Chains A and B, each alone.
Chain A
């Protein structure tokens, strides 16, 4: 049953864009990009149990890395490398507070970090051009095939998403995934079993943040013009919302959460202001009845019907 559903969705993802207008294709691409960032956060938060309110800033770091490099003529893959390494390193450092404090304190440290990054992006005009932003970000060409058209770029994003999903699937099912779960469920016990909780915590932050950076590298050529406000605290909070609404710790959670956050507002466009009000209310309701998100809800429903 699940496999059929999965196959249908994959077919839709590949086939539907051909029937959509450029804006629709743009939305799907945006969904793919946000899903990558959400997958990263889901690793840190959902699997390893570490709260991070800074994922949006890593998207920003990746986006600016891509924008700065490609507008200077460098190929996109160099941006991927730089963004990934930078986000990995900074994410690792961000993990250190997590070793000292938990939960709400960690939330605030990561929150501050996110805002700090935003301030740097906004104020360091010599590097980022500040509020004027960077425009004319080119889309890549891979071995002669141009990813410039909306459709082509969408498939590029989809391909990266597939790669990220596969790698994450492998990670989550490996001993590392088991260690992350142990870290989340009972860090003290994990410690006593030889799990180096310190290292795994830092790893969870590093990898999750790196994926945020990767998403950013795709975001820049997607929107082709970036400025700092796109990467402020709101993005981090949105990503957090995506992960929780989709279902933290569920593999498909980020996909669903990103869809709800990116696609739903558009489908309900006619009621724009009202939509956000309803969304806010819906989030509150969901958390009251099923804190394990939509997938948790589906799981529950599945058990009821068995």
Chain B
């Protein structure tokens, strides 16, 4: 169960990552720090006197603003025309900027983060399951389900998909592509904020949290196939399950290696990922 819960969090982060990549070709190496930051925004809001619900809302809104709008307009847009590598470097700079800013302006030590669920365990038939896992799975499933419905079932969602698959054609069809791209950034910001609120109560909020989460997101995205959102979900779940399975039954020290082996294996034998489509090489 804990594996599925972890997988759910990875899936959230991976889906956002893939969405941003799909629409704007931006590989966000700061995605891990994006998951780290919202928790601190909430903590800061609480320090300013806001109660938990208000602080969560404030943190969420700020995340949308900073990690969605500002990220797109200030960081991605100016650099995108220069190519993949400069943007990668820029997001590296961004991750450093966010990490050190939190360390400097908030705290270097780990901070407790309040959970919205009770710290209890439930017995379902033969298995003992923690309320925590259930809540995380429920929220993650709801979020991803909502997203899938939105993308496939609403006009805006379909326009977003069209913009991702073929921006030129989308423009010709009159779809406001720039705005659609902005929406994906906002969706990513929402997903990472959600993941942040789910994961911080367990692992505490620390400025270094981004490092492991970011890597897990990339791996999940790749294992699932960079081109498919569904793939990212599968990737995230697989990763979470494999992660916990290995830790329980194998050497805990090499736990972190599992995603990496998966990654290398997938890239070498099936570069398009488990669910992705192969990209034809053009002459």
Contact = CB atoms under 8 A, between A and B. Distances in A.
A–B proximity contact (CB within 8 A): yes
Interface of A: 51, 96-97, 100-101, 103-105, 107-109, 111-113, 115-116, 119, 122-123, 188, 233, 237, 240-241, 244-245, 248, 273-274, 276-277, 279-284, 287-288, 291
A245 B88 CA distance: 12
Interface string B78-93: 1100111111111011
Nearest to A188: B283
B96 A276 contact: yes
Contacts of B92: 237, 240-241, 283
B93 A279 contact: yes
Contacts of B218: 108, 111
A195 to B, nearest CB: 16
25 contacts: A97-B264, A100-B267, A104-B88, A107-B88, A108-B267, A109-B268, A112-B263, A115-B260, A116-B257, A116-B260, A119-B256, A122-B253, A123-B254, A233-B211, A237-B92, A240-B89, A241-B89, A244-B89, A280-B94, A280-B96, A281-B93, A284-B93, A287-B87, A288-B78, A291-B83
Contact of B215 (A111, A119, A241, A276): A111
Given A103-B84, A109-B264, A283-B96, A273 B104 contact: yes
B27 interface: yes
B257 A119 contact: yes
Contacts of A116: 257, 260-261
Contacts of B100: 273, 276-277, 280
B27 A284 contact: no
Contact of B264 (A113, A244, A281): A113
Contact of A101 (B93, B98, B103, B271): B271
Given A109-B267, A273-B100, A288-B78, A283 B257 contact: no
B75 interface: yes
Interface residues of B, number: 44
Contacts of B82: 287-288, 291
Nearest to A107: B88
Given A276-B100, A291-B86, 17 more contacts: A51-B85, A97-B267, A111-B218, A112-B219, A112-B260, A116-B257, A119-B254, A123-B254, A233-B215, A241-B92, A273-B104, A277-B100, A281-B93, A284-B75, A287-B82, A288-B82, A291-B85
A-B pairs with lowest CB-CB distance, top 8:
A280-B97, A283-B93, A291-B86, A280-B96, A112-B260, A273-B104, A276-B100, A291-B82
Contacts of B95: 280
Interface in B238-283: 251, 253-254, 256-257, 259-261, 263-264, 267-268, 271, 283
Given A97-B268, A241-B89, A104 B84 contact: yes
B60 interface: no
Contacts of A119: 253-254, 256-257
A108 B90 contact: no
Contacts of B88: 104, 107
Contacts of A107: 27, 88
A283 B90 CA distance: 6
Contacts of B271: 100-101, 105
Nearest to B91: A284
B121 interface: no
A173 B197 CA distance: 54
B256 A244 contact: no
Contacts of A282: 93
B13 interface: no
A273 B103 contact: yes
Contacts of A233: 211, 215
A101, A105, A245, A248: most-surrounded residue (chain B CB, <10 A)? A105
Nearest to A104: B27
B101 interface: yes
A41 B96 CA distance: 21
A107 B261 CA distance: 15
B210 to A, nearest CB: 12
A108 to B, nearest CB: 6
A108, A122, A283: most-surrounded residue (chain B CB, <10 A)? A108
